[in-house]
Amino acid sequence: MEYGISSFVEMNPSAEHLGKSGQIRMAELMEEIVLADEVGLDVYAIGEHHRPDFIASSPATILAAAAVKTQNIRLSSAVTVLGSEDPVRVYQQYATVDLLSNGRAEIMAGRGSFIESFPLFGYHLSDYDNLFAEKLDLLLKLNESEFVSWKGKLRPSLNGEGIYPRPVQAKIPVWIAVGGTPSSVVRAAKLGLPLAVAIIGGSLEQFVPLLDLYRKTWVESGHPVSEIQIGIHCHAFVGESDEKAANDFFPSYAEVMSRIGRERGWGPMSRGAYEQMRGPGGSLFVGSANTVLQKLTYMTELFGQTRFLAHMPVGPMPHDQIMQSINFYGNQVVQPLREKLVTA
């Protein structure tokens, strides 16, 4: 079982000087990634976005900086919006991260629930799924061979060109990230690729059929059961107590979820809905170390996942609160879970 953190590198979009505020936030982020490494977490993942509230438009650049500051933690995107990226450049960037980190790079590829990058880079949303499918096919071929011949409909062909640099790892791990779309789960399983599921609302139990579908399709596609990898991504925050964690996390969480809700036609985030999702079966992992530990234990029994990514922060929380949460998560949640596994 692996434990990690994911982040969109949240920042206040109303800051007076976005450049200066961004510089401060990036410096804080480096400290957060270093601490995650020091407390023994397995992976830190950065999500690609192109908007003022999430300033990680170039996750590979951020991960390259983190690579030279860390020793053991794996470094991944979460996600790379592959449909609006060029797979050759994605591969080259993460191969470079792999060289800098001595073999710790990963790619988490997804269609992307935020679509700002498509018009920004000149793509049509009518090609949304076809772009992802075609570019994923190319990315996987780049991962297999130094020289690639490939032909598609939405990107120029390759005719035996060499792709450089090559990574330290024989292959860069490529995960498929999904929200709740069954066809995306089936695609990952048929290709024999690890699955990362973002659960950012509702109950955990409602995702059991999705994971059952993945396992069923995996087996039917002839892949070894022993090679199944499932990652779960949930919003999380670990505090000194349940009450303090809930109160510290709610303001920024509610602001972000309400803002995104206005963009997508959801209602505002209420404290009642928040508390329901913080409950034993809900999607929020917010509370004391013991509460989060117990909820992770329950989720593992429910899903049998092989990786958990705690997404923190949600919104522009104070840096000291984020650092404290990472410390609690690594030392008082993950470490006891690992010790329990060893003695079981």
Residue 18: the pLDDT is: 87
pLDDT tier, 159 (very low <50, low <70, confident <90, very high otherwise): very high
Residue 160 neighbours by CB distance under 10 Å: 9
Q: How far apart are CA 140 and CA 122, in angstroms?
A: 23
Tens of pLDDT, residues 21-50 = 999 999 999 999 999 999 999 999 999 999
**pLDDT (tens digit per residue) in 293-311:** 999 999 999 999 999 999 9
User: pLDDT digits over 88-136, tens only?
Assistant: 999 999 999 999 999 999 999 999 889 999 999 999 999 999 999 999 9
pLDDT at 207: 98
Q: Is it the case that residue 11 has pLDDT exceeding 80?
A: yes
Nearest to 309 by CA among 24, 46, 126: 46
CA dist., res. 116 & res. 104, Å (int): 29
Mean pLDDT of the chain: 96
When comparing pLDDT for 226 and 343, which is higher? 226
pLDDT of residue 17 exceeding 90, the answer is no
Calculate what percentage of the chain has a pLDDT beyond 90.
94
CATH classification of the domain holding 49: 3.20.20.30
* Per-residue DSSP letter, 169: S
The label of the residue with tokens 């109950």 reads 203
Amino acid, single-letter form, for residue 255: E
Q: Provide the pLDDT for residue 13.
A: 85
Whether the per-residue pLDDT at 66 is higher than 80: the answer is yes
Which residues fall within 8 angstroms of residue 48, CB to CB, at 6 or more apart? 56, 57, 58, 59, 77, 79, 80, 81, 112, 117
CA distance 155 to 131: 9
pLDDT value of position 344: 61
- DSSP E strand stretches across 1-42: 2-7
Sign, CA torsion 230/198/172/127: positive
Question: How sure is the predictor about 16, in pLDDT bands with cuts at 50, 70 and 90?
Answer: confident
Buried b (16+ CB within 10 A) or exposed e, 316-340: bbebebbebbbbbbbebbbbebeee
Residue 306 · residue 229 · CB < 8 Å: yes
Number of domains in the chain: 1
pLDDT of 316 over the 90 cut: yes
**Domain, as residue range, for 292:** 2-343
d(CA 185, CA 215): 9
- pLDDT > 90? residue 342: no
